[in-house]
Structure 1
Amino acid sequence: MRKYETIFILQPSLDDEAVNANIEKFKGIIENGGGQIENVDLWGKRKLAYEIKKVNEGIYVLINFTADSDLPKELDRNFRIADSVIRHIIVNPEN
């Protein structure tokens, strides 16, 4: 098992309920894939460094987790197909 962290940015137009639903969705993907979540940190709405898809701000979420090397690929696939996610990154902080 390796340690990973992911930061994803959600659409700023989402209400609190939709934000929580998205967080639970991605937490579920990690847990169902055999990973263990260490920390979930909702940073809230922040201004983006540059405009993405004509949007100037987004809701930032950080998740630290441990998982096998196959899980980040599945998580990345789900981030890419989710309409509510503007940007995402998954890194192994040990490297």
Structure 2
Amino acid sequence: MTERLYEGLFLIDASVASQGWTELESMMIGIVESHGGAIEYSEKWPEQRLAYEIKGTKRGVYFLIYFRADTQSIVSMRTDAQLNEKIMRSLFVQEDFLEEEMKRRKDIADRRAAQPDPSSAPQRDSASSENTEEGKAPAAESANEDEPEAAAAEAEASDPEVSEPVAEETGETEAAEADTVAVDAAPESEEEKG
């Protein structure tokens, strides 16, 4: 019996989710735990418009779970999720990269929890809310002035580091440059002169 890390994704009707999310969350976690799964991380995604109607529903809420379980228990988890009337769709995946993805999601959730609520931020007066000559938006200015560490962390998270490849200088490139001969413009023919 081998335990592996799995990702489970459940889709719930938005109207059902708004009526009692805590019960739904415990039900989905219960499906995993009843078959020997150990929850490592779970996350509720915000309500979204679906690409197409599922069971007459246009909006849904996703619930993501990372869990460790025996490989043989996944089939029975899928069956229980498919038979549950409150779960519109479910997906269970086991991939090699899930460990890193789970850690990344935990870090993002921790950063969001550490950031202050934007609605509680102090209001700026209208004179300072105009754009500066540099073209910065007021929101960017206030984030940089009020919370430089949070702004730096947010910029770091949104802009991945890009490193430019550095060409190694070898004797071959120097020899190729030495062989290059400047070509003078050919003299104009009599047809082009006229």
SS of equivalent to 1:93:
coil
Q: Could you tell me which of 53, 59, 62 is aligned with 1:60?
A: 62
2:35 to 33, 36, 39: 33
Residues 1:88 and 1:15: Cα distance change in structure 2 (over 3 Å): closer
User: Which residues of structure 1 form unaligned runs of 5+?
Assistant: none
For residue 23 of structure 2, what is the aligned residue in structure 1? 21
SS of the aligned residue for 2:26 comes to helix
Q: Could you tell me how far apart the structure 1 residues matched to 2:45 and 2:60 are?
A: 10
Q: Give me the identity figure in percent.
A: 29
TM-score, reference length from structure 2:
0.45
Matching residue of 1:48: 50
Q: Structure 1 residues 47 and 94, CA, compared in 2 at 3 Å: closer, same or farther? A: same
Instruction: Provide the C-alpha distance between the structure 2 equivalents of 1:87 and 1:33, rounded to a whole number of angstroms.
Output: 19
CA distance in 1, matches of 2:55, 2:14: 12
Classify the secondary structure of the residue corresponding to 1:14: helix
For residue 41 of structure 1, give the secondary structure of its aligned residue in structure 2.
strand
**Which residue of the other structure, out of 2, 9, 13, is the alignment partner of 2:4?**
2
Q: Which has the higher helix share?
A: 2
The DSSP-based 3-state class of the residue aligned with 1:61 is strand
Conserved? CA contact 1:47–1:56, under 8 Å: yes
Look up the SS of the partner of 1:13 in the other structure.
Answer: helix
* CA radius of gyration, larger in: 2
Number of residues paired by the alignment? 95
**TM-score normalised by length of structure 1:** 0.87
* More moved, 80-89 vs 28-37: 28-37
Matched with 1:78 is: 80
Structure 1 residues 68, 15: CA separation in 2 closer, same or farther (over 3 Å shift)?
Answer: closer
RMSD over aligned Cα, in angstroms? 1.7
